Amino acid sequence: MYLQITVNFSASWCKPCRVFAPFYSELSKRYPTLLFLIVDVDELTALTGVLYIRATPTIFFREDGEQLDKLVGANQPELENKLAKLAKPTSTNWLEDRELPNV
């Protein structure tokens, strides 16, 4: 099974990020098979530097640790298009679909 993640690199001082945040939150309810994360670029500067985040918001689309796509800017229709392509039919709980190692 796939672990599908969207990561929104955002900043508290970024007006487009603040406007975009409720929409991103609503999408997390509409796509329950995806894991939605928000990273504050000012809190995790080392990570954002390594990933070359140069604008906010920047959304990464990842699956099982590999980056599939990226969206720069608060383009809501484009984000919905990318999510529709990423979302795979699974149960509504992504953790239930994961094959966990035997401990």
DSSP state of 101: P
Give the strand pairing for 58-63 and 66-72: antiparallel
14 φψ region: left (φ > 0), alpha (ψ -120 to 50), beta (else): beta
Instruction: Please tell me whether the peptide bond between 16 and the residue prior to it is cis, using omega within 30 degrees of 0.
Output: no
Query: Which two structure tokens, joined as six digits, stand for 11?
Result: 């900043």
Residues annotated as catalytic (active site), given as ranges = 14, 17
